[in-house]
Amino acid sequence: MANDNNINNEEFDEYYFKVWKSYEKVAMHFNDLIIRLRIQSIGGLAGLAAILGIFLHTQEGSNGSFNCGLAIVAIICLMLLWVAVWILDICYYNRLLEGSVNAILELEKKKADFLEKKEINLSSNIEGAFKQRFPHEPKGWSKRLFNGRNGFYMTVFIALFVILLVSSFMYCRSYQEKGICTEEKVKHSECIQR
């Protein structure tokens, strides 16, 4: 059956599928970038943590414990790095993916009008992703906050936070022990002088 533009249904379906496939390639590209970012960042973080552990182990104090002050500073830096990766993922790469997914969804909804309008809107959807939320995205803060993406980042962040707390506890404890030892030495020396 021919239509106004002298294209039969088979040719239209083939053309439509090529456009849809090109949209899908863009979405898969952004998805691949996000996956690589997450995998490489978790690997990089683990590598930096291992290097930090080795460095701190070689810098042991006289009592054989880690330099907790340096560990605290390094862990805070790792936490800030992890937050920066989260911002890059959620606020940039994920928005690119959401824009391309929305373009695919719009293309699929408007298949009947596609031949008449020939509307290609991938770039405008990607640009719009930085200005608005799309209908297919979860509504409400709780659904946006508690999802798989944020769960991934929060799990690692919580682990770093626990390590920070342990390091801080060890740091405070080492200072308390040094203070006690100094007081005992002073008392002991006073006793000897008497």
| 18 in any annotated domain | yes
Q: Does residue 19 form part of some domain?
A: yes
Look up tokens 């297919």; give the residue. 136
Any domain includes 1? no
Q: What is the pLDDT of residues 20-66, one digit of tens each?
A: 999 999 999 999 999 999 999 999 999 988 888 787 777 655 454 55
Helices (H), 59-147: 68-88, 94-109, 111-117, 122-128, 141-145
pTM: 0.71
Q: In this structure, is residue 165 part of a structural domain? A: yes
Domain count, the chain: 1
Q: How confident is the model at residue 142 (pLDDT cuts 50, 70, 90)?
A: low
Residue with tokens 């002050």: 69
Residue 3: inside a domain, yes or no?
Answer: no
CB 68 within 8 A of CB 174: yes
Q: What is the pLDDT of residues 118-133, one digit of tens each?
A: 778 888 888 888 877 7
Residue 20 lies in a domain: yes
Domain that holds residue 119: 9-193
Q: Which residue type sits at 144?
A: R
Q: Hunting for tokens 């990089």 — which residue is that?
A: 44
